[in-house]
Amino acid sequence: MEKRLGRGLEALISSATGEENQPSFALIDVALVEPNPYQPRTEFDGFKLAELAHSIKQRGMIQPVVVRQKEDHYELVAGERRWRAAKLAGLEKIPALLAEKLSKEAMIEMNLIENLQREDLNPIDKANGMKTLMEECNLTQDEVAHKLAQDRSVVANTLRLLNLPDRIRDWIKDGKLTEGHARAILTVKVPD
């Protein structure tokens, strides 16, 4: 079954900022950008970042990052891999879409959707992203499922992975245990 992710980033930005406050483009100083505190991705593959940095050196940055202004710096909304790769490539300025009036919910939603679209998150990071969206924005599983254009059962099963012991969650993150096998472990009853 093909992955479907609902609204694109452009639609999310437009609806989050309102018609009267459309986002604008600018070249911004890489050093003034801080990571998104709601980033669901906990690990960035060094080899893939180096490949992206090489591509950026060769062809430039094709897609801008999305940021919002925070006093004297910018906070990343989406594009942390591109930002990290641009820093690796030695860029001083990067293209950015300035989305000034984003709610916390829109920021978390955009970041999670962007990560699902670009490079698959490991199941544990995906579950943590869903949990953050629920907790920070007071959303139900149904509402998260709607926002991510997924069935509620997918959201529920993904969130259940967070009930596993740390060691097993680490195996999932490291690719040593599949999501399906992990869900099977959840059904095993441990004697008291």
Q: Known catalytic residues? A: 80
- Going by C-alpha positions, the residue among 51, 57, 49, 79 that lies closest to residue 66 is 79
DSSP-H helix ranges across the chain: 9-17, 46-59, 80-88, 104-118, 123-137, 141-147, 152-160, 166-173, 179-186
Residue 186's contacts (CB-CB under 8 Å, 6 or more residues apart) are 160, 161, 163, 164
CA distance 113 to 104: 14
Instruction: Give the type of residue at 65.
Output: V
CA atoms of 98 and 30, how far apart (whole Å): 14
